[in-house]
Structure 1
Amino acid sequence: MNLNLDFGAILERWPMFLDGAILTLQLASLATILGAVIGILGAIGRRSRNPVIVRICGIYVEAIRNTPLLVQIFLVYFGLASLGLKFSAFAVAALALTINVGAYATEIIRAGFDSIPRGQIEAAEGLALSRTQIYWHIVLLPAIEKVYPALTSQFVLLMLASSVTSQISAEELTAVANFVQSDTYRAFETYILVAVLYILLSLIMRLGFWLLGLAIFPRRRRLRTAL
């Protein structure tokens, strides 16, 4: 059996792949930022003294973590359409990905909160720090620092999972690949190239998170261990 690989027709369409890769990064970046905000608020909510807030946050986390991402995308896509709300495929994809990663980020950040010793907070109170200072310097930043590797890995996985948004015609990398392979009949070569591009995108995101970790966490900057 001879394997005849021909990347010529595939590489001729490199602008399409570049556009798809850029859109994939845009989706992942937007969902990462908004998902991180939801994760912080959700983690705070799950530790709230108000049982209603705790229950609402718990239902959100469990509902998202126990249903497939593709089903969630369809629910957002068709749900908004049924309400008469029309958004672009990119906006719907970004919203669905944000809702999804927000639930996972909530649990990861909550684990970071739980790792902060109570004595550390009491010591800060003894130094007469304000509640805002205590929460920011003693709870939030140290908690995120402890779970930063797990959090960034989840965001990279989100970027890879964004491939399923091609099902609602979001023109990200996998959607471009589907079009190219149907046009060139070179499916194997197309998806080899796409796999390589996803690896490069993962490395770009990891590098970005590493640099961000160095900027945010001074101790990690000194140790050169941002991830």
Structure 2
Amino acid sequence: MSYTFQFGVLAQYQDEILSGIWLTIKLSILSIVLGSAAGVMLASLRSIKGGAVRYLVDAYVEVIRNTPFLVQLFIVYFGLPGLGIRVGADTAALIGMTINLAAYSTEIIRAGIEAVHKSQIEAGEALGFSRFQIYRHVILVPAVAKVYPALCSQFVLMMLASSICSAISTHELAASAAFVESQTYRSFEVYIVVTLIYLALALALRAALAFIGMWLFGRRVARRTMTALPEVPA
């Protein structure tokens, strides 16, 4: 049986596809900014504070890392209205992506913090740095630099995982593709194009993150960022 590809039929749905691309980019950027900021804060709290705070952060990380992202989205989108909190699909997607990414970022940054040698902290104390200066310049910045490629891989994975948000009616790229496919019945063409778009988005995001890494930490970190492969979450 022969099959004739007809990519031309997708041209009339370019606005639909571009709208999905834009929402995917917007959700990805916002979740990366919010999730990484939350990750730094939680990892810092875990390393500075002990007792209940540390256990609460550890519990949050373990719960998020060991449950499906789809279930987390359903809890936000379908569960919160039961508590009287109603959020739209796009907002629920952003909340879910941020919560998920924050947990993974916390664990990655924690590993970086624990990799800082004690002698570096002692050197900072010998130079008369305050506790805040030691934590910021001697611990946190070198820790983030060490794990920056791993963080970037997680950011790319989160961007790709945004396709799951179509399950709660978020009209991002995957949902746009499903709509176009339902209108044209050209599954091969639609999903080949969408695959190439996701690939382009992932490569563009990795290049942008490498540029940011070069600006913040130097060329070595930027090269490691470009060559690091995304790791599938455990």
Band of TM-score, shorter chain: over 0.9
Paired position in structure 2 for 1:130: 130
Paired position in structure 2 for 1:50: 50
Provide, for residues 185-206 of structure 1, a one-character-per-residue CA deviation record: whole Å limited to 9, x for no partner. 1111101000000001101111
Q: Distance in 2 between matches of 1:107 and 1:72?
A: 18
Q: Distance in 2 between matches of 1:193 and 1:102?
A: 31
Stretches of structure 1 that go unaligned for 5 or more consecutive residues are none
SS of 2:129 mapped into structure 1: coil
Paired position in structure 2 for 1:195: 195
Q: Distance in 1 between matches of 2:16 and 2:191?
A: 14
Q: Distance in 2 between matches of 1:46 and 1:132?
A: 15
CA-CA distance at 1:222 after TM superposition: 7.4
Structure 2 length as normaliser, TM-score?
0.92
Structure 1 length as normaliser, TM-score?
0.95
Query: Does the 8 A contact of 1:32 with 1:101 survive in 2?
Result: yes
Paired position in structure 2 for 1:171: 171
Query: Does the 8 A contact of 1:116 with 1:143 survive in 2?
Result: yes
AA in 2 matched with 1:46:
R
AA in 2 matched with 1:208:
A
Paired position in structure 1 for 2:38: 38
Q: Distance in 1 between matches of 2:209 and 2:58?
A: 28
Provide, for residues 38-66 of structure 1, a one-character-per-residue CA deviation record: whole Å limited to 9, x for no partner. 11122123324421001100110110011
CA-CA distance at 1:86 after TM superposition: 2.0
Paired position in structure 2 for 1:159: 159
Stretches of structure 2 that go unaligned for 5 or more consecutive residues are 226-234
Paired position in structure 1 for 2:181: 181
Q: Distance in 1 between matches of 2:222 and 2:45?
A: 33
Paired position in structure 1 for 2:3: 3
Structure 1 runs (4+) deviating above 6 angstroms are none
Provide, for residues 125-170 of structure 1, a one-character-per-residue CA deviation record: whole Å limited to 9, x for no partner. 1000122221111111100000000000000000000101001111
Q: Distance in 1 between matches of 2:193 and 2:114?
A: 43
Q: Distance in 2 between matches of 1:59 and 1:177?
A: 37
Count of paired positions: 225
Aligned pair in 2 of structure 1 residues 222, 104: CA closer, same or farther (>3 Å)?
closer
AA in 2 matched with 1:196:
L
Structure 1 vs Structure 2 CA RMSD: 1.4
Aligned-residue identity in percent? 46
Paired position in structure 2 for 1:225: 223
